[in-house]
Amino acid sequence: MRHLLVLIMLAAALAGNAYDGVSKLFVEENGDLFNSLSLSTRYELLNNYDRETKSEVTNNLHTSESRILDLSNDFMRIATSSGKTVEMKLLKKSARDTIIAVIETVDTRPYKDSRISFYDTKWNKLPTKKFITLPTIDDFFLPSATRQQREELKNAITFTMIEMKIEGNTLVATCNLSDFFMGESFKSYSSIVKGKIEYSINKASFKKK
């Protein structure tokens, strides 16, 4: 019965061209990004978001539930599983040229790590460096940090995890060093690093504030 209802919903949506903006691009994505969400599952997620319950849907891997967390005409945040979140932001490079910024975040507990990618509206991947200079650990040092302090901290970190989120027209990048060093051991570094850096988003350009 559930599958029949999903097929009816899907047919109705296709016939009425029910979705536009980021929702339309979500259902049109070719499966490289949302490989655990079938077309019918994507329509079901969109339909559920319009309801008060905003209920979850089991993904195709049958490992966990998927749920849309935030949705507007130009932005979507979706939990594709219990350990992964995807954000999509539509950027108007020009009146006729729309770019899709995609942030994939993996929750490795207690750390989160993100990567950002860019696509055109046909879901062709575009070079990331055309739109943003990716943040590194060096971006989080305060000007007061000495060269020796910078080297000591970088040598103490086996790998750097940076979480990224889009908040309106701002990209917020967070390096949770306090989680990596577990409290007390972070105190010696807390005065030389900042918790986050921000990028302003102008059309399809990301500029560090």
C-alpha span between 37 and 30 (Å, rounded)? 11
Residue 127 pLDDT: 97
Q: In what order do the strands lie in the sheet with 112-119?
A: 57-58, 65-71, 75-81, 84-94, 97-107, 112-119, 125-126
Q: Report the DSSP beta bridge partners of residue 54.
A: none
Residue 53 pLDDT: 63
Q: Which amino acid is at 102?
A: V
Residue 184 pLDDT: 57
Mapped onto helix, strand or coil, the DSSP state of residue 153 is helix
The one-digit pLDDT tens for each residue of the chain (209 residues) are 445 444 445 444 443 445 789 999 999 999 899 988 989 889 889 988 877 666 677 777 666 688 999 999 999 999 998 889 999 999 988 878 999 999 999 998 778 899 999 999 999 999 999 999 999 999 999 999 999 999 988 888 877 889 999 999 999 999 877 777 655 566 778 888 998 999 999 999 999 99
Tally of CA atoms within 13 A in the half-sphere of 17 that contains its CB: 2
Residue 11 pLDDT: 46
Q: Which amino acid is at 88?
A: M
- pTM value? 0.85
Residue 169 pLDDT: 94
C-alpha span between 75 and 93 (Å, rounded)? 15
Residue 8 pLDDT: 45
Residue 134 pLDDT: 95
Residue 124 pLDDT: 96
Helical H segments across 60-198, by residue range: 147-156, 177-181
Residue 152 pLDDT: 87
Residues in the chain: 209
